[in-house]
Amino acid sequence: MTQTARPAPALVLASTSRYRRELLQRLRLDFTVAAPEVDETPGVGEAPAALALRLARAKAQAVAARQPQALVIGSDQVADLAGEPLGKPGTHERAVRQLQRMSGQTVVFHTAAALACQARGLLQTDLASVRVRFRALQADEIERYLRAETPYDCAGSAKSEGLGIALLEAIDSDDPTALVGLPLIRVARLLRAAGLRLP
């Protein structure tokens, strides 16, 4: 009697970020996308790394509650400037202020990944922390950059995968996709541990 292989569980990315969607496509897995609808407000005194981990877990769990058989990936990124969390600026004015504050500074970008499956009682997390050293930035450089790339949906107001790389002195990371928004080395590790076969 031959046994038929069990189909792989559905894979869901709990994010509406096009950056995370494009990154996950690199693993050549079939997946769908669902909005997690999670409040991203930091807790009082919450450390940036702890915030990123909490939000990644919350996003994965929120979607897993709606799709209990699926494997759900949640992720969040928080920029850490001397212990202070910096989120997405949302506006030009806030982006200017963020870049002015980060000028000449080292900022740590904490990017957390979580994998959840409610039916299996699965919840695993991992964290990639990327140290980014910004150049000393002139006001006109900041203005030109923001007008050119409008990175208002990016934590820290700069896209290292685009023109934002010109604002930087150095990047120190063991998971290069983490800075873009999804730490693929860690995500692949979580998926393999959950029994998913990567191509």
Q: Which of 30, 39, 76, 126 is catalytic?
A: 76
Of 14, 10, 71, which is closest to residue 38 (Cα–Cα)? 14
Tokens coding 180: 């873009």
Q: Measure the CA–CA gap between 91 and 132, rounded to whole angstroms.
A: 22
Cβ-Cβ contacts under 8 Å for 75 (sequence gap 6 or more)? 14, 15, 20, 56, 59, 111, 112, 113, 114, 181, 182, 183, 187
Q: Measure the CA–CA gap between 127 and 118, rounded to whole angstroms.
A: 21
Give φ, ψ of 29 to 5 degrees: -110, 145
Is residue 30 annotated as a catalytic residue, yes or no? Answer: no
For residues 157 and 90, the answer to whether their CB atoms sit within 8 Å is: no
Report how far apart the first and last C-alpha atoms of the chain are (Å, whole number): 28
Tokens coding 5: 């292989």
Q: Measure the CA–CA gap between 178 and 92, rounded to whole angstroms.
A: 24
Query: Which residues are catalytically annotated?
Result: 76
